[in-house]
Structure 1
Amino acid sequence: MEKNKRRLFTKKKILHFFLMPTSFKTGLFICFICLFLLLRHYSLPKNALDLVGQLERELYDVRFKIRGPIKLTGVVGTLTADDKSIEKFGRWPFPRDIYEKVLQNLKNAGVKWIGFDVFFSEPQRRFLDESLLNLKQIYLEKHLNSKEYENTLYKLMNNSPGDFSLGRGIEDFKSITQGFYFIDHKSQLLNSQYDWLASFNRLKNSAIDFVDFPAGKKINQYKELMSYGVVTNTEVIAGKSRYVGFANNQSESDGLIRKAALVKAIEPTDSKGISHGNAIVVPSLGLSLAANYLESGIVVHFDELGIESIELYPSDSKKPQIKIPLFYDGQGKLLINHYGEFEQLPQLSLQDAYENKIPKNVPPILVYGGTATGTNDKRPSPFDENFDGVGHHVTVIENILTQNFMKRPLSAPFLEIALLIVSGIVFSFILKHMSAIKSAIFVGTILISFYLIDKYFLFGKGNWFYVGMFYLQSISIYFGITIFKYFTEEREKKKVRSAFQYYLNPAVINQLMEQPDKLKLGGEKKNLTVFFSDVRGFTTISESLTPEKLTSLLNEYFTPMTKIILDSNGLLDKYIGDAVMAVWGAPIPIEDHPDRAVVSSLKMLDELENLQKKWASEGLPFLDIGIGLNTGDMVVGNMGSDQRFDYTVLGDAVNLGARLEGINKNYGTRIICSEFTKNSLKNPEKFLLRELDIIQVKGKNEPVRIFEVMRFQASEREQIKELIHAYESALSLYRAQKWNEAIAQFKNALKIKAEDPPSLEFIERCQYLKKEGVDKNWNGVWVFKTK
């Protein structure tokens, strides 16, 4: 039975945890949602773009702009077909016979490698003046039949002097990588007149020889890497160089280029979509130029998912010279570490190269591409929406040569998940205890610190970690908890204010509202000072007044007494008829609660004296009070039921305080405190306390020393000290059972203050005990039989 009860209790606790909303659970719920979105993002197909991907992509761009431009080494630059080149050579594309001179000038200037991001996929059509002599010879050869005549004209049209000139220039320069572009889908090849297989054959010399596959794997099994057709330069041009690289700049869905594919698998396919042989792996234009400039071979390692790594090996070494970090989608893509706007790249105009106006510090590697208006090769980057496509090839080469890579570490997802979980729990726990302003400062400080760490030590060092979900979660938890507090805990605060506005100082209420959980049903043990006051002869007074006048009199009395309690940050526990109960030290801790209770008691007597004068002038009865104070451990908290409860104190220490209030009548005093209150005073020198007696109250077995809190004017202080000395000397004689000496000493006290009620009480008591006698074991304790 007991075991079942425990199980039921545990189930109830678990159910209560999940069903009862709190600010902490609000934060955890937000953390769970953000974690779910992040995990879902990791599981999506590589090209899918969800909320997380969109957020991180935008922040990726922003972080580049915040980081700012980086200076390039000057090893790589652009050879540009710019606006002034168009003015020089006419419409785009330019006549091909100009390039032979351009290449010769660049070679003489010390340029080592040139890459072409410009394609010559079709023969250049002859100009009429170039063809007149040949046409005349064809015309004179009358023996040609119509078919031979047509073929002769076709050969004439497709053998342009410009193509031969460009071919000679490439053959003479030698270190040139020609660009081509690939076709991703077979459907784009169908029914085309282009000779796809001949174009594919021009790539064979540039294929990557060192490709490492897992056991049992072949290139055509990696479908996402496959392309099925290529467009290369014409045979006349392409045949003059064995270095070829694809120049495709593949943008993302928003048009920006953030990654660059470094290798691609090409399958020989004809215009009917039929495969003709095995696929080959070819490098990009940028990778080919970088490897050739370093005189290194390219090695591509595959794993089960795709390309695992790409390394550059010097021809005379077995150790890789450069290991290129890849984005982990298996497609051999490099995260481009952008350097800035296009204008920041070293640039050489084609016109200047043609006219041999080449600077001495010309980069040893040049990539030729169109930048002039109308060339339609704009490929936006995070830095520049008008970035030209040729600039991305330059950036990739610079990244590889300097090894200044942007990386997405393999450990990134695990660290990002851990960050969300840890920060979500910590933020939820801390923010539930903070106000909205403090929470904003805390969250802001954390986010700024994280931003600086990312700027200088993570992204600034080329490591791309997702930060968007951390920022989003942190801000969401802040607003979620703040809104939750506003609609729920604010309601609790209103309940607190409503419940305590008549019992506590507003400043104390504000402190209490910062911790409304202190008002849960139940109590806790604390050291406090309890106060009881009662009106003397209230029954007689009430019989002499009408109910209306009695109520008015009590309200006039209670109002200033309550104000004194609240002003000293005491808690007005309750009114009990004509009695007042108050506590110092709860619900907000106060170190000097005994001192405040004593000071407040004295102020009440001062205020009562003013009221007595007023009432006397109005013909109202004389009203006086007695006060009892005690300090000790007591249980404080909300006592009652879930539907209705009171914040109060309970315990023996409370009961003793109530007894001391009533005992005032026996000694003719107005304020009595226990020895526990006296000994707990933080500043005892401010008060004058007279030991009255050692008593045992009804219901208590242990005797307690009691003291009268003396009320006096500043001019009376020394006189009161004399009274206390005389009285306490007489008290010592009384406890020694020296009745006559004690009586005489008490009478001396009366000479200092005539009609001193405690002295009169003890003179009468001494006379009684002298007559009746006492037990031989009598210890001086006076036992009260009634409350």
Structure 2
Amino acid sequence: MATPASTLARDSAGAQTPPPPPATKRTARWRRQTFLLAVGTALAAAALAWLLSRTSPMQLLELKAYDMRFALRGQFAPPSNMVLVTIDDRTEAAIPAPRIFWHPQYASLLRAITAGNAKAIGLDVFFATSVEDWAPGMDRELAAAFAEVSAALPVVLAYDTLQPSAGFLPLYILGSAQGMLGFANFTQDRDGFIRRQELQSRGPEMGESLAARLAAVVLRVERGVMDSKRRTIRFGNRAVPLDPSGFLILHYWGPAGTFPTISMADVLASAARDDRSQLEKWFRDKIVLVGTLESADRQPTPFYLAGRGQDLMPGVEIQASALATILEQRFLREAPPSILPLLLLAASCLATWFIFRFHFPVAPLLLLGSVSVYLGATVWAQRSGLVLPAVPPVLAALLSGLASYGAYALTEGRKRRLLQDVFGRYVSRDVAQELLTYGEIPLGGVRQPVTVLFSDLRNYTGYCEGLDPHLVVKELNEYFADMTAEIKAHGGMVNKFIGDGIMALFGAPLPRPDDASRAVACALRMVQRNEEYNRRRAEQGLKPLVIGIGLHTGDAVVGTIGAPEKMEYTAIGNTVNVASRIEGENKTFQSRLLVSESTYQLVRERVVAEATEPVKLKGISAPVVLYKILEWKGEVLCSADLP
């Protein structure tokens, strides 16, 4: 016949490897609904971000984000084989005649640059009308200088497509005959900034831009050849990528003033002195672009809003940037359109995962950190030649984050708040987090193995008689604070206070394989804390309050029990009753910590114990052997030891 002790041990055998409580159908359905809600939130945010990205405000914001990446990227050293000759204030002061009559000076300038052994000239100066009526011979003089210089090096003339009437001038007749004309008109974005440039017009003339014509003559090809889809233009073996509109995305080396400049006045002065050494120092083997610095020819570029003091960029420097982009092959390519939906989905899903997975403020901090990392990646990618969309993915992440918080408040947040309200004061932070991760509390009642701890203060009721009630409450609160801290530190749950006694559960609401070890280690620490507490009392001249603790391991029904008006999460069953009676036997054996056979068998390799004489417990017919736990082999478990 089995003894009660062996019966208790057999009842608790399953406590060695307690399985987690099975998820209910309702929990599984709730998890599925939460997952679907999160996915739906992410998809809706991605779709909304895509729709908003197609609106004018968002597209304008994307352009500004593109500009900001140039500013964050910083300034590069421009190509060393290019120089600008500028018509500046000093030139205006040196030439008293109106600029419309500067033909002799331009002729001298072309000859001076040629004398300096330049590689090519781009004349970004437009002659809108003939001056023959006021200065006979000037038009022919400039055309003659162009013909003379063109015999030594290529000279590309800029023209304005909006003023075709100037085509009858001798200069442009010669330039057209030699194939040395390039339009100087810029391609403006919707905000008036110059970020890209058309290299070849779409009309039947298929005119080339000034930069494209200069690139062709420098690379010694007849002209750039555009493919049928206008996605690439080839200059010989060099393929230049274009954006979906057929334009070249300009690579800017920096803000206005980045390219080296020489005043036209200085060049004319050196030519007048016949200072060839200076001219060669300026121009030898270089591409020279001539243009004005007047405000009417200045345009905003990505560097314009980069900081204080940034100026509009002269048109001649924009032409230099376009030419340098082709010759230096510093191309910028927009990411293919197919990547935008992927980025939107990734950003939305990541934001949703952050919100549903992490607490505030970790979730928004992770979200903002991810946004910052992505924006940094767009700067790095643009520096490497790839233009990634910046605003739509960030918009998707923010929209998804906000929407996820709303969904979270309806689902996960409500459940977490319930868990925190019910269990937050009774279990450790680790156990609470495990509950939240597991996603279910067995509120309806479930049978599972637990180790039940009962503690009590010896003769405390008699001690309290005649004492000030405020002092009694203060002493109890101090005592409970010490004991509760140890229970929570060892992964237990403070189930209830019964007068001066405590009932705690190890293995509920979630079981662990070492619940019995945690309970015994906790009880030993409670005894130590009680001794420390009594030493403090002795220093105050107060009587000691001796603790007694009983432990038993077995199956119990755990769940929320009570009436609709008052519910309590607790454990019920014979295991609880036995633990309570074991605690009471401390008086019999003058001990402080007793455990049952079932608990002892789970911890016997880790403790030093002493068996008691068989004792008869209420409700159990045969006597049972209990065990006095004397010490832990090694250090007693504390909160830092918990896995």
TM-score normalised by structure 1 residue count: 0.61
What amino acid maps onto 2:250 in structure 1?
I
Choose which of 199, 205, 210 in structure 2 pairs with 1:285: 210
Do structure 1's residue 120 and structure 2's residue 42 form an aligned pair? no
Greater Cα offset, 386-395 or 553-562: 553-562
State the shift of 1:491 in Å: 8.1
Residue 409 of structure 1: which of 294, 310, 335 is its match?
335
Counterpart of 2:248? Answer: 334
* Alignment check: 8 A CA contact 1:692 1:705 kept: yes
**2:144 equivalent in structure 1:** 168
Displacement, 1:261? 1.0
Change (3 A) 1:581 1:552: farther
Within 2, Cα distance between the matches of 1:700 and 1:79?
Answer: 112
| Aligned pairs for 1:505-584 within 5 A | 508=428, 512=432, 521-522=441-442, 529-533=451-455, 559=477, 562-570=480-488, 571-575=493-497, 580-584=502-506
One-letter code of the match for 2:213? S
Which of residues 196, 200, 216 in structure 2 aligns to 1:259? 196
Cα distance change on mapping 1:354 and 1:638 into 2, 3 Å:
farther
Q: Deviations over 1:514-572 (max 9, x none)?
A: 9657785426888753123579999xx99xx99x9999999688646533431313433
How far off its partner does 1:93 sit? 3.5
- Provide Cα deviations, 1:134-188, integer angstroms capped at 9, x if missing partner: xxxxxxxxxxxxxxxxxxxxxxxxxx311111111122222222222234xxxxx
Contact 1:258–1:335 (Cα < 8 Å) also in 2? yes
- Aligned residue number for residue 248 of structure 1: 185
Q: 1:360 maps to what in 2?
A: 281
Give the deviation of 1:119 after TM superposition.
Answer: 1.6
The counterpart of 1:103, out of the listed 100, 104, 110, is 110
- In 1, Cα distance between the equivalents of 2:370 and 2:235? 42
* Whole-angstrom distance in 2 between the partners of 1:322 and 1:431: 49
1:426 alignment partner in structure 2 = 350
- In structure 2, the gaps of 5 or more residues are 1-24, 272-277, 305-310, 632-643
> How far is the alpha carbon of 1:293 from its aligned partner?
1.5
Match of 1:239 in 2: 173
Change (3 A) 1:559 1:293: closer
Cα distance in 2 between the residues matched to 1:642 and 1:341:
73
Partner of 1:380: 300
Matched, 1:37 2:49: yes
Corresponding position of 2:159: 180
Q: Deviations over 1:249-272 (max 9, x none)?
A: 132233321111111133xxxxxx
Deviation at 1:631, TM superposition (A): 3.7
Assess, with a 3 A threshold, how the Cα gap between structure 1 residues 366 and 536 changes in structure 2: closer, same or farther: closer
Q: Deviations over 1:556-610 (max 9, x none)?
A: 8864653343131343312457864222466698873321124426766997999
RMSD, aligned α-carbons: 4.9
| Partner Cα distance (1:68, 1:677) in 2 | 70
Instruction: Flag the structure with more relative contact order, 1 or 2, with Cα contacts below 8 A and sequence separation at least 6.
Output: 2
- Look up the SS of the partner of 2:484 in the other structure: helix
Give how far 1:99 is off. 2.2
Q: Is the 8 A contact 1:31 1:473 kept in 2?
A: no
SS at 1:344 equivalent: coil
Contact 1:584/1:596 (8 A) holds in 2: no
Contact 2:297–2:314 at 8 Å: present in 1 too? Answer: yes
Alignment counterpart, residue 312 of structure 1, candidates 228, 235, 239: 235
Q: Give the Cα–Cα distance (whole angstroms) in 2 for the partners of residues 641 and 244 of structure 1.
A: 94
User: 2:15 — aligned with what?
Assistant: none
Give the alignment partner of residue 693 of structure 1, picking from 597, 604, 614: 614
Cα deviation for residue 244 of structure 1 reads: 1.6
CA, structure 1 residues 704+339, in 2 after alignment: closer, same or farther (shift >3 Å)? farther
Alpha-carbon distance between aligned partners in 1 of 2:503 and 2:299, rounded to the nearest angstrom: 81
Distance 1:643 1:407 in 2: 68
- Whether the 8 Å contact between 2:581 and 2:617 is mirrored in structure 1 is no
| Alpha-carbon distance, 1:54 to partner | 2.5
Give me the whole-angstrom Cα distance separating, in 2, the residues matched to 1:518 and 1:57.
46
Distance in 2 between the 1:255 and 1:677 partners?
81
Q: Aligned ranges for residues 315-714 of structure 1 at < 5 Å?
A: 321-329=237-245, 332-355=246-269, 356=271, 358-362=279-283, 364-372=286-294, 376-384=296-304, 385-410=311-336, 413-439=337-363, 442-443=366-367, 446-447=370-371, 449-456=373-380, 458-474=381-397, 499=422, 503=426, 508=428, 512=432, 521-522=441-442, 529-533=451-455, 559=477, 562-570=480-488, 571-575=493-497, 580-584=502-506, 592-600=518-526, 627-631=549-553, 645-649=567-571, 653-661=575-583, 671-681=593-603, 689-693=610-614, 698=619, 705-709=625-629
Alignment of 1:185-196 (within 5 A): none
Give the residue type in structure 1 aligned to 2:63: R
1:79 aligns with 2:85: yes
Q: Measured at CA, do residues 655 and 440 of structure 1 come closer, stay the same or move farther in structure 2, by a change above 3 Å?
A: same
> Conserved in 2, the CA contact under 8 Å of 1:584 and 1:597?
no
Distance 1:581 1:350, change over 3 A: same
Question: Which one has the largest radius of gyration?
Answer: 1
Specify the code of the residue in structure 2 equivalent to 1:170.
Answer: F
Unpaired segments ≥5 residues, structure 1: 1-7, 131-159, 184-228, 267-278, 314-320, 618-622, 712-787
Separation (CA, whole Å) in 1 of partners of 2:268 and 2:120: 17
Q: What secondary structure is seen at the aligned counterpart in 2 of 1:310?
A: strand
Superposed CA deviations along residues 468-501 of structure 1, whole A, max 9, x for unmatched, are 3344455666677679889998887776666557
Q: SS where residue 387 of structure 2 aligns?
A: coil
Letter paired with 2:148: D
Change (3 A) 1:173 1:695: farther
CA distance in 2, matches of 1:378, 1:94: 22
Q: Which amino acid aligns with 1:529?
A: T
